[in-house]
Amino acid sequence: MIIRRIVAICRNYLWEGGTEYHRAPLVAWSTVCCNKKSGGLGVKDAEKWNIATVGKLVNWIYTKADRPWVQWIDHIYLKRNDWSTYEPPSNSNWNWRNICKIRSKLDAGFVNNCWVADPKGYSVGSGYTWIQDIHPPVFWYSDVWDRWSIPKHAFITWLVYHKALNTKEKLHVIGICDSADCVLCEAGIETYSHLFEDCLYSKQILGQIEIWLQLKLHSDRKYSQLQQHVCRMAKLACWYRIWMERNKCRMDLQLTMPDKSVKDVKRLIHARISQMIMQPVTSHDQQWLSCLDILL
């Protein structure tokens, strides 16, 4: 089926950067297609989008749109029968039978021949939203998808929150690794909480960045809007660096000293702040930025 092949190509491109991918995806495609507030990436589900698109034809028949195609359908197939209860004959055209199947999937959205999900009437967008599975919002949405966050950092953090990265704990369970010990500090099992919170190497990076920024990256304190952006962006930058160092240590047996990693993260944060500030800031924020050697 063409649509399934399109979905496969999109899925493979996400995980491999090409049209072929022969391993199990890190996150289910149904989750990837959820909106970002519900923990997905907001990628359109081609199969559901196709249903919503054909729903436009279904709506034309419901509303008896003044179109030759609708009049032809009424004359050849419906013959003044009720569209909401109509069942196509087994020998009818393949396309027509599929339009009828899609009508049955959208039936609940039409009341008295009107689309109830949108007061403006049916649209492909409203149809797609209506058939999407409902998922509750995730608590980490604003942290991951803050507009200041660097995209590759946000993506890795998204995988962290979905517990989709191949930590040594997971690899050890399926027999790929002989040991589940953390490669960065060798002082604990490499779980998500250990790697990004309790690992001695990670603590040094996060701790020094907090001292430099004079902010707590995991705090609920009422910081200014600018400082909140920086906190989120800095946390993601640290987690990304930790994961990259973990991979380099495991694959190449090389580990950058924490001070060097901190220096690189500081340089990245400094550049990102300078890049993202587009409007005047308060005197309090100006004073704070001057402590970071950022002059506006």
Mean pLDDT of the chain: 91
Domain presence at residue 136: no
Q: What is the mean pLDDT of residues 33-43?
A: 95
- Amino acid 292: pLDDT: 87
Are 80 and 153 in the same domain? no
Q: Do 165 and 201 fall within a single domain?
A: yes
- In this prediction, residue 99 carries a pLDDT of 95
Which residues span the domain enclosing 208? 141-291
Does the residue 253 lie in any domain?
yes
- Using pLDDT thresholds of 50, 70 and 90, give the confidence band for residue 72: very high
- How much is the pLDDT for 81? 87
Distance CA 101, CA 97 (A): 6
Shared domain check, 100 and 6: no
Q: Across the chain, where does the E strand assignment appear?
A: 110-111, 114-115
Do 231 and 266 have their domain in common? Answer: yes
Mark whether 166 and 285 lie in a shared domain. Answer: yes
Same domain for 276 and 147: yes
Helix (H) or strand (E) holding 69: helix 68-73
DSSP lists the bridge partners of residue 189 as: 181
> Residue 296 has what pLDDT?
61
Structure confidence by residue, pLDDT tens digits, 204-245? 999 999 999 998 887 667 889 999 999 999 999 999 999 999
Residues 115 and 234 in one domain: no
Could you tell me if 60 and 110 lie in one domain? yes
Query: Mean pLDDT throughout 249-265?
Result: 92
pTM score, whole prediction: 0.88
For residue 26, being part of any structural domain is answered with yes
Query: Is residue 76 pLDDT above 70, yes or no?
Result: yes
Domain assignment present for residue 172? The answer is yes
What percent of the chain is predicted at pLDDT more than 70? 99
What is the pLDDT, as a whole number, of residue 220? 60
Tell me: do 168 and 287 sit in the same domain.
Answer: yes
CA–CA dist 286, 284 (Å, integer)? 5
Q: How many domains does the chain have?
A: 3
> Are residue 157 and residue 194 in the same domain, yes or no?
yes
